[in-house]
Amino acid sequence: MTLPALSKILTNWPTPHKLPMYGILEESRRGEIPLQPRKPRWHAHLLRQEGGEFDSPKSEALGWQALFEAASGCRTEEILQLRLDAQPDEPGHILGDNMCVRRCKKAGRENPFVNLTPEFKVIISAHKIWHDRYYPNNPWYFPNVRTVAKGKVACPHAQTSSLTKCLDRLFDKKILKRKFTSHGMRAFYVLWRRSHGISDAQICAEINQIGGTRTLEISYGIVPPSWLGGKGPKLTLLPADRRNYAWANLLASK
């Protein structure tokens, strides 16, 4: 799973004013290419809202979480550690074209940075505007503002299971045709990078797949031979028209 679920999350992503949203990603068949090479199918159209929404506008943070995971390939535990007030060498600190992350799997040779592609930078800039507008006092990238009964303090950021539970709700409402998980965004990242001719060895370094290319193939399948040598479909994160960005209406709202 990658693009179908992410598109659905974003097309059904509520704003504080319940404005309809557009998906930011082109629809793809699947992220997990099986070990037997098979060229995935994709369509160059954007999905529009088809009914079904997150339970609350508070769940907007999960839409951003999905975008960040898809654009970075980070695991859920890694992405939820990001803070906007991060200092150098702390998760969330941006240095040039890199963002510092705290890897949950190290083995003494971890890559502590995520590469910020031009498209990822667009997402980060839009997220900053949203965060400053709605959660200026919460330093976490993906705030959790749910109230907890009996005076208990809620976790200040989204929890590890929140995005997958949201996907489950969309499945229960029959908005999604199959169950997907947060980890599927990592699968999309692999698909996206492979479509641009990036080698599996480099992808392993980028997402800290410490088991190497073999574990990448076991988890996400092999690269279709027709994609080798830069001949892949070159999938994109963002539509050409910025008016179709998933967050366009959200940031335009007052």
If pLDDT is split at 50, 70 and 90, which confidence band does 253 have?
Answer: low
Distance CA 216, CA 153 (A): 39
Instruction: Please give the pLDDT value at position 3.
Output: 45
Mean pLDDT of 168-188: 80
Instruction: Please give the pLDDT value at position 41.
Output: 30
Asked if the 3-252 domain carries CATH number 3.50.30, the reply is no
**Residue 54: phi, psi to the nearest 5?**
-65, 160
Residue 143 has pLDDT above 80, yes or no: yes
Mean pLDDT of 13-23: 32
Sequence-ordered alpha helix ranges (H) in 180-227: 184-195, 200-207, 213-220
Residue 87 has pLDDT above 90, yes or no: yes
Mean pLDDT of 46-75: 66
Instruction: Please give the pLDDT value at position 34.
Output: 35
If pLDDT is split at 50, 70 and 90, which confidence band does 245 have?
Answer: confident
Mark 113-151 as b/e (b = at least 16 C-beta within 10 Å): bbebbeebebbbebbeebbeebbeebbbbbbbeeeeeee
Beta-carbon contacts of 29 under 8 Å, excluding residues fewer than 6 positions away, are: 4, 40, 41, 42
Instruction: Please give the pLDDT value at position 148.
Output: 58
Mean pLDDT of 1-5: 44
More confident residue, 35 or 107: 107
Burial of 110 from C-beta contacts in 10 A (0-12 / 13-18 / 19+): middle
Neighbours of 159 (CB within 10 A): 14
Neighbours of 234 (CB within 10 A): 11
Spans of all domains in the chain: 3-252
Instruction: Please give the pLDDT value at position 57.
Output: 66
Q: Residue 246 CA to chain centroid, in angstroms?
A: 13
Instruction: Please give the pLDDT value at position 20.
Output: 28
Mean pLDDT of 161-189: 81
Residue 150 has pLDDT above 80, yes or no: no
Instruction: Please give the pLDDT value at position 195.
Output: 93
Mean pLDDT of 215-239: 88
Distance CA 41, CA 30 (A): 8
12 close to 53: Cβ distance less than 8 angstroms: yes
